[in-house]
Amino acid sequence: MSRSSTPKPMKYPPISDKLPVFMHGADYNPDQWLHDPQVLAEDIRLMKLAHCNVMAIGIFSWASLEPEEGVYQFEWLDRVLDTFAENGIYAWLATPSGARPAWMSEKYPEVLRVEKNRVRNLHGMRHNHCFTSPVYREKVTQMNTKLAERYSKHPAVVGWHVSNEYGGECHCDYCQDAFRDWLKRKYGSLDALNRAWWTNFWSHTYTSWSQVESPAPHGEMMVHGQNLDWRRFVSDQTIDFYKHEIEPLKRISPELPCTVNMMDLFYGLDYREFAKVVDVISWDAYPMWHETDSDAGVGSWFAFNHDLFRSLKQKPFMLMESTPSLTNWQPVSKLKRPGMHKLSSLQAVAHGSDTVQYFQWRKSRGSSEKFHGAVIDHVGHEHTRVFEDVASLGQTLAGLTEVLGTTVPAEAAILFDWDNRWAIHDSQGPRNKGIHYEETVMQQYRALWELGVPTDIIGSFDDFSGYKLLVVPMAYLLREETGAKMEQFVKDGGTLFVTYWSGIVDENDLCHLTGFPGPLRKTLGVWAEEIDGLHDHDRNALILEDGNSLGLSGTYEIHELCEHIHAEGSKVLGVYRDDFYAGKPVLTVNELGQGKAYYLAARVSDLAFYEALYGKLVQDAGVHRALDTELPAGVTATPRTDGAHEYVFVQNFSGRAARVELDRQSYTDAETGRAVEGAIELPVNGIVILKREV
Ligand code: GLA
Ligand code: ZN
């Protein structure tokens, strides 16, 4: 293949030189137990027993660190960190900005967030401060400076856990001004802004910057370019606040890595932009296991997220939080069934995590999280099922040090952009009762997951050239440059797969005027003339053409969205069965240069279609699979490699026992060192790590 590819390093250094093994531990809140010094001593004994080597500490400790304005109290934290150091336990030290002390809200109400309705919140909860407030920023600088001065050389500290789960937005006057400044920097003139936002519509033209406001239900919501820019601004302003937080940390302790704990497919922040300024990605995973007989749906969703977080920096990430047993904020707090703790923890490792961490170490005695899963339950000792699961996983991780820093060799990628997501959901039509963008992305991912195809989740500004297969689900917002990059990718020998509702608008949410799919029309050899939104009960079907070049056959159900396309040089592989567009193309392929560009014009509902389709695409494009064997439904395999060895994590999410025939004579079980021959038997929630030479 003539395509150039940028080689990725195969093995990364440990996240901290102080702890060159898998990090295993939890969020730790000793400030809730300062009245009972016995607890700290007991915690240390139990941490060692649980094979825990790291804790995230101080996340919500502002009131204990600065009980009164300007009065600091660090002795308790000194004691905890010193005790850690004496006992071989390390710490991600948090900045406490995720929640403020009451004295601060009382004295400086401007630190409190203003909602869309322009009403300021009362003190309470957490994660609800204004990101722009000069007072809050000043308080954060003072606190973070003190922490960095006091602890950055502490032997127990491995890095900074900056704030907690950034998110949300504020509509206060400071934020409105910051939004206007952001727009001035972006557009330079009101004329340019009015053009980009198409404000002549409904006479929405702005004639002074002061007229521009954040979107509000009782104000402006209909200017899509404005809504999109507000989302971009909120994301940028949050990142700006983070940069402000780390300024003293980086100045005083440039050697310590900074992380922020992210959330699964979080809507409000463009994590790809955020990733540029954090040193190591970490995230918090709370799957709802055991809702159905098979956990394959939930398992693949979390696999997708792990892949996304790994792809953000293309290097190992951290599982910062996960529950050791139940999650108390979910509609139903179901316990992890036997095996699931190991399976779900090692799933993160399989996808590139170099840590397994929990929320939380010890259950709090009161308040809203007292029933959330923890390593140590209210009973206070180690003789619990959950503790045993955790300790046993700690032992497993300790035996897997050779996997640390290895990468996931992905030759397939799925395109997923935040601004596309925001724009797609904001659009009115073609299906306001459910456009199901994320579900569409997941339909593609799930098929690759079932096939055991390691996959990166990338953005429009990433390099496509290292991949053999690029999947582009519903790229509604598609820039001209991205289209050109995709064209080059195909010409150079890549396989491109694009779905309906792609190439509709540009980066300002203005429609492409050259016929949809806009910048991809030539590459795909199709023109999408119209799109039909279907009612929930409407059905159509895709009939695959006899002898089509993919060798697919049969009829598959279609629902929700049907685009009417014309093949302009592309070959038709399948057509509609029903309605006035029966016989018109649904699936096409265009050969361009050395590659192929496929287009799917309608939402096929059946997973079996995607499995058959991706099975062929992967085979044709020569895309690497973890195991070259048929995997039972709900069983997947994910590889990590150091270039010399591959570690294949075979995971059973099917909810029943499964047998996997191996694709070569023998492997080594990476946990036991024993030879594995012919096939493996996986119990319900079973996982095996197979090692082989590359
Ligand atoms: C989030 C937070 C934690 C805790 C957990 C509970 O991820 O970061 O502080 O509230 O949820 O699941
Ligand atoms: Zn604000």
Q: ∠ at Cα 336 (335, 338), nearest 5°?
A: 125
Tell me the chain's radius of gyration from C-alpha atoms: 26
Could you give the number of structural domains in the chain? Answer: 3
**Structure tokens that stand for 200 in this block:** 């002549």
Q: Report yes or no: 205 and 190 within 8 Å, Cβ to Cβ.
A: no
> Which atom number of ligand 1 is nearest to the Cα of residue 263?
7
pLDDT at 681 over 60: yes
Give 323's pLDDT tier (boundaries 50, 70, 90): very high
Task: Evaluate: CB of 284 within 6 angstroms of ligand 1.
Answer: yes
> Which atom number of ligand 1 is nearest to the Cα of residue 284?
7
Give 238's pLDDT tier (boundaries 50, 70, 90): very high
The Cα–Cα gap between 375 and 25 comes to 9
The Cα–Cα gap between 12 and 593 comes to 36
pLDDT digits (tens, 9 = 90+) for 535-581: 999 999 999 999 999 999 999 999 999 999 999 999 999 999 999 99
Task: Evaluate: CB of 164 within 6 angstroms of ligand 1.
Answer: yes
45 known member of a binding site: no
Give 666's pLDDT tier (boundaries 50, 70, 90): confident
438 and 375 share a domain? no
CA 435 to chain centre: 20
130 known member of a binding site: yes
pLDDT given for residue 553 in this prediction:
98
Backbone angles phi and psi of 659, in degrees to 5? -120, 130
Q: Is residue 663 part of a domain?
A: yes
Give 7's pLDDT tier (boundaries 50, 70, 90): low
> Among the three residues 568, 599, 621, which one is the final residue of a domain in this structure?
621
258 known member of a binding site: no
DSSP state of 146: H
The CATH number given to whatever domain includes residue 153 is 3.20.20.80
Q: At what angle do helices 296-313 and 437-450 cross, to 10 degrees?
A: 100
Q: Is residue 262 part of a domain?
A: yes
Q: Is residue 478 part of a domain?
A: yes
Task: Evaluate: CB of 359 within 6 angstroms of ligand 1.
Answer: yes
Number of residues written out for the chain: 694
- Provide the domain limits for residue 422: 412-621
Active site residue 530: no
Task: Evaluate: CB of 321 within 6 angstroms of ligand 1.
Answer: yes
Residue located via tokens 């809504």: 227
pLDDT given for residue 664 in this prediction:
87
156 and 137 share a domain? yes
259 and 141 share a domain? yes
pLDDT given for residue 194 in this prediction:
98
Backbone angles phi and psi of 476, in degrees to 5? -60, -50
657 and 509 share a domain? no
pLDDT at 483 over 70: yes
pLDDT given for residue 6 in this prediction:
54
pLDDT digits (tens, 9 = 90+) for 496-520: 999 999 999 999 999 999 999 999 9
Q: Which of the following is catalytic: 321, 487, 507, 646? A: 321
Residue nearest to atom 7 of ligand 1 (CA): 284
pLDDT given for residue 90 in this prediction:
98
Amino acid at 208: S
The Cα–Cα gap between 145 and 149 comes to 6
Residue nearest to atom 4 of ligand 1 (CA): 359
Provide mean pLDDT across the span 273-297.
Answer: 98
Q: Is residue 466 part of a domain?
A: yes
Active site residue 321: yes
Q: Is residue 210 part of a domain?
A: no
The Cα–Cα gap between 319 and 283 comes to 5
Strand-strand pairing, 455-458 and 635-641: unpaired
Q: Report yes or no: 689 and 346 within 8 Å, Cβ to Cβ.
A: yes
pTM for the predicted model, two decimal places: 0.98
Strand-strand pairing, 157-161 and 258-259: parallel
CA of residue 285 to ligand 1 center, whole Å: 9
pLDDT at 592 over 90: yes
The CATH number given to whatever domain includes residue 676 is 2.60.40.1180
CA of residue 110 to ligand 2 center, whole Å: 8
575 and 676 share a domain? no
458 and 345 share a domain? no
Provide mean pLDDT across the span 386-409.
Answer: 98
Q: Report yes or no: 454 and 408 within 8 Å, Cβ to Cβ.
A: yes
Burial of 68 (0-12, 13-18, 19+ CB in 10 A): exposed
pLDDT at 421 over 60: yes
The CATH number given to whatever domain includes residue 529 is 3.40.50.880
> Which atom number of ligand 1 is nearest to the Cα of residue 323?
12
Q: Is residue 4 part of a domain?
A: no
Of the CA atoms within 13 Å of residue 504, those in its CB half-sphere come to 21
pLDDT given for residue 87 in this prediction:
98
Category of 78 on φ-ψ map: left (φ > 0), alpha (ψ -120 to 50) or beta: alpha
